[in-house]
Amino acid sequence: MTERIAPAPTFAETALPRAVAQRMLALIDALGEYDGRPASHALTGILRLAAGQAPTLAERTSLQIAGLIELDHGHPVLTPEGQAVLACETESQPQPMLPEPQPEEPAAGPAPFARLKIGGAVYEIAGWPASDALAFRTEPTADWCGLDADLAAGWSEIAAEILQRTRNALEDYVRMHMIRRREEEDPAGGNGFDLYGIGWEVREAGAALLLRLDGEAEWQTVPAPALAHAAGFRERAAAALVAQVRDLRERIGEDVHAWAKRLAAGALVEPV
C-alpha cells in the first residue's frame, strides 16, 4: 500500500512563517556543501513541516523518537510538544516570496535512514525512492534485501521479519520448544520428541540419522546436507523434523512469527 503524506498543517500566526522555514532549509542545504551534516534530522524535519514539505524517512524517525510527531494513518502529525516548538513567538517581519521548490531527482537505489539493533546484530534500514517499501542489509557492503513490512506496520514487525530472514527461525523455534519424551528405552536406540502435538522419533544408523513420525511405520533417512550445520543430537533432531515435514512452516508459522516478535521486542532504532 502506497503511503500518501498530506501537506503540512497550517500553523498559528505565531508559528514559524513558511518563507522563513524555506530559507532556513536552503541555508542548511548550502552549508551541506561544506559540512556533511550541518543540522540534525529533527531540525530539518520540523523545518520541512513548517515549510509545507514532507520530511524524509530519517527525519520522520528522528521526530518520532523525540516525540515531536506521530503517524496518523501514515501521515506525520505534530504532537502538542511539536506544536509548541513551532508556535514559539517570533518577530513578525515581511518575508520575500520564494519560488516553489523543484522536486528532487529520486535516488537510484535505497537511501539508508536508520540502524536497527537486535541483540548484538546491527542492520541498516533504507527506503526506496517514491515508495513506502523498505530494505535492509547486514553490513555496508552487502546487497539490499527487500522487506514486506513497512513503517506503518511498526518497528516490531520490521525487526521480526529481519530475524526470520537472517537466521533459521523455524529450526531455532523447533529446537527451543521441542520436548524430549520420557519413554521406555527403545531397543533400536530411538529417541522421542514432541512439539505441541507433533511427535517424532530419531535414531542413528551408522553415519545416517533416521526419523519416524508418530503414526507412521517406516523410518526415513534424513538427507545428510540437512544436518551438516547441526552439532549436537538435539540440534540434529530439530533439523531432521524441519527437513522431513515439508508443511511444517505452514503448520506453525504463526507461532514462529509471534516468537520472533517477542525476541524483537528489545530492538533499538537509531536514525542515521
> What is the average per-residue pLDDT within 223-239?
94
Is the pTM higher than 0.85? The answer reads no
Angle subtended at Cα 73 by Cα 68 and Cα 78, rounded to the nearest 5 degrees: 20
Which helix (DSSP H) or strand (DSSP E) does residue 200 occupy?
strand 198-205
96 and 117 assigned to the same domain: no
pLDDT at position 154:
92
In a domain, 266, yes or no: no
Query: Contact at 8 Å (CB) between 236 and 224?
Result: no
Rounded to whole angstroms, the Cα distance separating 136 from 272 reads 14
Do 55 and 7 lie in one domain? The reply is yes
Distance CA 134, CA 128 (A): 6
pLDDT band, very low/low/confident/very high, at 10 (cuts 50, 70, 90) = very low
**What order of strands is seen across the sheet that includes strand 220-221?**
179-180, 191-195, 198-205, 208-213, 220-221
Question: ∠31-16-90 over CA atoms, to 5°?
Answer: 105
**For residue 189, pLDDT beyond 60:** yes
Task: Please indicate, yes or no, whether residues 65 and 151 belong to a single structural domain of this protein.
Answer: no
Range of weakest confidence among 101-110, 132-141, 232-241, 243-252: 101-110
Letter for the amino acid at 67? G
Bigger pLDDT: 17 vs 184: 17
The model's confidence at residue 92, banded by pLDDT at 50, 70 and 90, is very low
| Contact present, 124 and 113 (Cβ < 8 Å) | no
Domain finish residue from 102, 123, 149: 102
Q: 3-class DSSP state for residue 125?
A: strand
Task: Report if residue 86 sits inside a domain.
Answer: yes
Structure confidence at residue 52 as a pLDDT band (50, 70, 90) = confident
Rounded to whole angstroms, the Cα distance separating 171 from 50 reads 50
Where residue 269 falls among pLDDT bands split at 50, 70, 90? Answer: very high
Identify whether residues 12 and 68 lie together within a single domain. Answer: yes
User: Do both 56 and 122 map to the same domain?
Assistant: no
In Å, how far from its chain's centre is CA 160? 7
**Total domain count for the chain?**
3
Identity of residue 271: P
Find, among 78, 77, 58, the residue nearest to 124 by Cα: 58
C-alpha cell read off for 78: 505534530
Taking only the tens place, the pLDDT of each residue in 22-48 is: 888 888 888 877 777 788 888 888 888
Q: Which domain holds residue 237?
A: 171-250
Are residue 143 and residue 196 in the same domain, yes or no? no
Residue 91 falls inside a structural domain: yes
- Give the type of residue at 184: E
Output the pLDDT for position 242.
96
With a cut of 90, say whether residue 6 has pLDDT above it: no
